Amino acid sequence: MTAPASDDPKTLVSTEWLDAHLKDPDLRIFDASWYLPDADRDARAEYEKGHIPGARFFDIDEISDQRSELPHMAPPVEKFMSRMRSMGVGDGHQVVVYDGSGIFSAARVWWLFRLMGQTNIAVLDGGLPKWLDDGFKVTANPPVIRDRHMTVTPQRHMVRDVTDVARAAKLGDHEVIDARAPARFRGDAPEPREGLRAGHIPGSKNVYYQDLLNEDGTMKPPNTLRTIFMDAGIDLQKPVITTCGSGVTAAILALALERIGKTDHSLYDGSWSEWGMYADLPIATGAP
């Protein structure tokens, strides 16, 4: 596995890279900000007040499978294609996605594009806070949008359901990595969603997503990321399934794995919102 360069339009780009390419005709930008209810922040209102020039707003709750009772599950292919067309994003475009936290929900949209077979997408390293700190401008002006066609080729191997994860946990042929905070992983802290048990998937290992990030919200360099995974006892020769509370921060783990050149990873979309709900699924508590 070889680590990519710092600016990689398929994984992560810097604010300087985005500023230099801002007027490229085939660049499309998404503000994919999303916050937990206790953050008391309105992502769409903040977008309308000020966003990176040309950015569209990507609502991960709306562009989801709303037939599911689970939060923001991956949408049907037809819905994804329809939403992208209406936002003027299509074949041949380079997409950059950011959020208002640094690197948080943007990684979820990066993973979703990859799930749909679109590889020309990168997360903005450090997100909107880094963009502003670096002195770059925002605007309240809406983008000019023209319909574009997108060809979607779903990569089914990039997503896992509860049956897949239960089998992997039993056989031990995958590394299941949980991005939640250590206290939630151990079962020492209650889950923020009502009705969920506390603990983790048996055999899974914990890499808190915040540990992959620097204080300024940027992602740590590949060599450091690799060390963090190895120090958590993860065998990087095995395929990986990432999980978290609701499939958002699990995508940060996926992005970090991609940054170190590991491509055989998938995401458990239901995550603990699903596993923690069902009494007949086993759980473990304490350290792995």
How far is the C-alpha of 37 from the C-alpha of 242, rounded, in Å? Answer: 23
Exposure b/e, 17-29, CB count within 10 A at least 16 = b: bbbebeeeeeebb
Residues β-bridged to residue 31 = 57, 98
Please name the helix (run of DSSP H) or strand (run of DSSP E) that holds residue 267, with its range, or none: strand 265-268
Coil/strand/helix, residue 95:
strand
The terminus-to-terminus CA distance of the chain in angstroms comes to 27
Residue 258, number of CB atoms within 10 A of its CB: 21
Catalytic site residue from 73, 244, 252, 256: 244
Rg (CA), the chain: 18
Is 246 among the residues known to form the active site?
no
Amino acid at 87: M
Residue 252, number of CB atoms within 10 A of its CB: 28
Active site residues: 244
